[in-house]
Homo-oligomer: A and B are copies of this chain.
Amino acid sequence: MRYTQLFGKTSKTISADADSINAKLLTQGGFIQKEISGVYNYLPLGLRVLTKIQNIVREEMNKIGGQEILMPAMTQEESWKTTNRNSMDVLFHLKGQGDTDLVLNPTHEEVVTPLAQKYTFSYRDLPFAVYQIQNKFRNEARAKSGLMRGREFNMKDLYSFHTDEADLNRYYEIVKKAYFEIYKRIGLGDITVLAFASGGAFSQFSHEFQTINKNGEDTIYLCKKCNVAINKEIIDTQKTCPECGNDKLETIKATEVGNIFKLRTKFSHAFNFYYSDKGGQDKIVEMGCYGFGPSRVMGTIAEIFNDDKGLIWPESVAPYQIHLIGLDLFDEDIKKQAEDLYQKLLDKNIEVLFDDRIDVAAGAKFADADLIGIPTRLVISKRSLQNGGVERKKRNESQSEIIAFDKIIL
C-alpha cells in the first residue's frame, strides 16, 4: 500500500478524549477513530491488525475442534427472561415494529443454548464446540476510552457442550492450552498468566487470562512459583496460591485478555436442554464458555508495545511487515529504484507500506513510521544507494544497517 493513497493518516495532535494509552497511540497512528464513547471506527491499518488477531484466534479454535458459526447481535428479550438476565444493566433494549421487545446481545448463552438444543438429541451428538467472531454490545455506564471497554466491541466466544462434568473438565483444559498458544502467537505469551476468579453459582472458580500491564485496570496476586494468580475479587476467600498453597503473593497490575467459565448446567437448566444417554435416560447437558476479545486484545497490545515515539507491533499482528521509506524521490533515478524495490517486495508477497510522498522531509517520514510501529523499516535514499543498498532498522532497535539489494528479501 502506498502511503499517499492510504485512508487514515497519522496525527501529532492528541484528541482531548484520549485518556487511555491505547486510544492515544492507535488514534495518532491512524488505526482507529472514535465514533462515540466506547464505539470506534477501524481504519485500514487498524482493521488489518484486528483481522490478524482474529485469524490467529480462528486457527487455534479450529485446531481444538471449534466450529465457526455466526449468531446475530439482536434477539428477543424473552430469551433473556428465560435465564433471569433481562434486568442486567448492560443490556441494550430496543423496540421492534409491532412493539416487540428486543435486546442486543452482550454475550450469547441465550442464543447458543436453544440453538445447540435444536441439533442435540442423544449422547452421540455430544461433545461439540461452536464459536463465533462477532460484535457485541454492552450499555456501559462508563465506557473506557479506546478499545479496552467498549459499548460495541469484537468478541470470539466459544461454547462447548458435554455429556457430563468430567468431559467438560477435559475440554476446559484443552481450551486453556489453546489460549496460551494464542497469547504466545500474538506476542503476549511471556507476560500473560492464568488468574483464578469467581466461579459464580455453579463452579468454584472461573479463570481469567491476565496480561501484566503497569497501566492495567485489574489487580492480581501472583504466585511466582506457579505463574498463577488470584483475581482481586476472590482474594478475601482465596488467600493462597490454589496450586501450591504459597501465601507469598505479589501484587501486580494487569489487563484481562480472556476468560473461561464452566457454566455447568446453569443455561441448560433454564432452557430444559437434555440429551438421551446410552440407556435412553434424559440427562442434562453440561456447558463451558470461553471468551476472547480481539478488539480489547488489540488495545492491550498497543498499551504494552510502545515507546515515547509510538507503537511497536509484534510481527504476527503488525499491519504490514515492512515500512519502506523512499527519500530524495524528486530524483527520478532514486524514485525508479524505490518503485522497483516496492514492486519486488509485493511480488514476494511481503506486506509493505510504501511511504512514496515526495514533498515530505525525512524527519517527518521517520516520525510517522515510529508512530505506526511496523516492525521493520527500510529506507532507500541517495545516501543508502551510495552505501550500496537500503538502510534497515527494526522498530525496537536504535541501530540501522545497510543491506545490499540482493539480500533485502528477509
In the assembled complex, the Cα of A199 lies from the Cα of B234 at a distance in Å of 62
Instruction: Scan A69-109; emit 1 where CB is below 8 A from any B CB, else 0.
Output: 11111111000000000000000111111100010100000
Nearest-Cβ distance from residue A39 to partner chain B, whole angstroms: 5
The number of times this chain is found in the oligomer is: 2
Instruction: Scan A42-71; emit 1 where CB is below 8 A from any B CB, else 0.
Output: 111011001000000000000001011111
For A116, the chain B residues whose CB sits under 8 A away are: 7
**A387 at the A/B interface (Cβ < 8 Å)?**
no
Known: A41-B111, A75-B39, A118-B33. A70 touches B47 (CB 8 A): yes
Q: Is the CB of A73 within 8 A of B35?
A: no
Q: Which of B8, B137, B151 contacts A119 (CB 8 A)?
A: B8
In the assembled complex, the Cα of A40 lies from the Cα of B75 at a distance in Å of 10
**A205 at the A/B interface (Cβ < 8 Å)?**
no
Q: Which of B5, B71, B93, B98 contacts A65 (CB 8 A)?
A: B5
Interface bin, chain A? 35 or more
In the assembled complex, the Cα of A130 lies from the Cα of B44 at a distance in Å of 9
**A364 at the A/B interface (Cβ < 8 Å)?**
no
Q: Is the CB of B67 within 8 A of A50?
A: no
Query: Nearest residue in B to A42 (C-beta to C-beta)?
Result: B70
For A141, the chain B residues whose CB sits under 8 A away are: 97-98
**A128 at the A/B interface (Cβ < 8 Å)?**
yes
Q: Is the CB of A7 within 8 A of B73?
A: no
**A135 at the A/B interface (Cβ < 8 Å)?**
yes
Q: Is the CB of B44 within 8 A of A68?
A: yes
Q: Which of B67, B97, B139, B142 contacts A6 (CB 8 A)?
A: B67
In the assembled complex, the Cα of A314 lies from the Cα of B104 at a distance in Å of 34
**A157 at the A/B interface (Cβ < 8 Å)?**
no
Given A47-B68, A97-B142, output 13 extra A-B contacts at Cβ < 8 Å. Answer: A5-B65, A33-B118, A35-B72, A39-B74, A42-B70, A42-B71, A43-B69, A44-B69, A47-B69, A72-B135, A74-B152, A93-B94, A135-B135
Q: List 23 A-B contacts (CB under 8 A).
A: A5-B67, A6-B67, A35-B72, A36-B76, A36-B102, A39-B74, A39-B75, A40-B72, A41-B71, A41-B72, A42-B71, A43-B69, A44-B69, A47-B70, A50-B70, A73-B135, A73-B152, A74-B137, A92-B96, A94-B104, A97-B139, A97-B142, A135-B135
